[in-house]
Homo-oligomer: A and B are copies of this chain.
Amino acid sequence: MAPGSIGIVSPQTMQFDEPIELKSGAQIDEYSLVYETYGELNSDRSNAILICHALNAAHHVAGRHADNPYDVGWWDNMVGPGKAVDTNRFFVIGVNNLGGCHGSTGPSSINPKTGKPWGGDFPVVTVEDWVQAQARFASRLGIEQFAAVMGGSLGAMQALQWSIDQPERLRNALVIAAAPNLSAQNIAFNEAARTAITSDPEFHDGHYYEHGVVPRRGLRIARMIGHITYLSDDTMDDRFGRELREKVLNFDFGVDFQIESYLRYQADKFADTFDANTYLRITKLLDYFDPAQAYGGDLSRALKNATADFLVVSFTSDWRFSPLRSKEIVKSLVDNRHNVSYAEIEEPHGHDAFLLDDVRYHNLVRSYLERVAI
């Protein structure tokens, strides 16, 4: 293994037999969550960091799986021995959220009431529901308070929600490439992606498992739409520009430009590994995220009782959740005289920058976490 890698890791499963009440009013009677941990929990149980995943990821944050050495965790550049999130010092946890499609209970799981997959009957979950499930999960691990809860994009939204819903249970929140809610444009892109899935004839109202099919066409289009919004226009121009795949225009509807080939590849890869019902639910969960909403739209009031210290990070080229959106969060924290550090990183790669190996960005996270007492 490369120096700094956590090495081979194995997921574990935790079963919950107590029902969980969801914000929608629905209830899930029993469920399981799949998770991974890296590093050692100290005797004070004070060095735990929860890493929350975004739309397209799961519990496999760092290291590799023994059965597939190419299956590197999605934030392996950030998490490991000696890395910005240093597993020599911290006990780091990744958990696949409720409703996911990587092992935790979700739409493809068997609904114990029917003996068949939940499918379209799996409830719409919210960020609040996820935080509730994660808090219960943490208690079972014996972690009363996290040194930090962190994430990028939707992961950061969970960290923010933790600071509101469970203020005593985290000392730090790292909120990276986030927004306090989705804009109309963000929702519109999600709605176009959902329409692609729900109008696929193989969707069957979400009960496609029973039909032995998947709404693959819809999922491919959804991924194309999403993927475009993760990258900046400049990054796409730098990487692909108007480069042709075969040096000539084909005058048909196959691939002319490299960017088309790349999009098709990303779409295929995603459709092979992600569940359409989960995609629908997570985009809806994103649309619904709006902690200020219960406070008349006043995010400062929503964050009033937070006690964590905050690091908020944005990337200049992120047009999905622009720095202006992060500044809304910062302003609300400052309004409450909470401790907050804010960094806007000049970076060309768009929203996906939070996943990339940028030395200034990683050093920032490293420095912040070095100051976190354990």
Contacts and interface: CB of A to CB of B under 8 A. Distances in A.
Interface string A228-240: 1001010011011
Interface in A239-266: 239-242, 249, 251-253, 256-257, 259-260, 263-264
B259 A191 contact: yes
A124 interface: yes
Contact of A221 (B199, B251, B263, B290): B199
Interface stretch (A111-119, A159-167, A180-188, A326-334): A180-188
Interface in A266-305: 267, 280, 284, 287-288, 290, 293
A177 interface: no
A132 interface: no
B221 A195 contact: yes
A11 interface: no
Of listed A25, A221, A264, residue having the most chain B CB within 10 A: A221
A184 B251 contact: no
A23 to B, nearest CB: 8
A236 B25 CA distance: 31
B183 A237 contact: yes
A143 interface: no
Given A196-B221, A221-B199, A280-B253, A260 B191 contact: yes
A124 B248 CA distance: 14
Contacts of A242: 181-182, 184, 187, 290, 293
B240 A220 contact: no
B237 A224 contact: no
A201 B199 contact: no
Of listed A195, A199, A257, A293, residue having the most chain B CB within 10 A: A195
A217 interface: yes
A358 to B, nearest CB: 21
A192 interface: yes
B280 A183 contact: no
B253 A224 contact: no
Given A124-B252, A184-B257, A184-B259, A217 B199 contact: yes
Contact of A220 (B199, B260, B287): B199
A26 interface: yes
A209 interface: no
A246 to B, nearest CB: 14
Contacts of A196: 196, 221
A237 B186 CA distance: 10
A189 interface: yes
A198 interface: yes
A203 to B, nearest CB: 10
A263 B186 CA distance: 13
Contacts of A239: 184
Nearest to A241: B184
A217 B203 CA distance: 13
A123 interface: yes
B253 A198 contact: yes
A192 B217 CA distance: 11
10 contacts: A181-B242, A182-B242, A184-B239, A187-B242, A187-B257, A187-B260, A188-B224, A189-B228, A192-B224, A198-B253
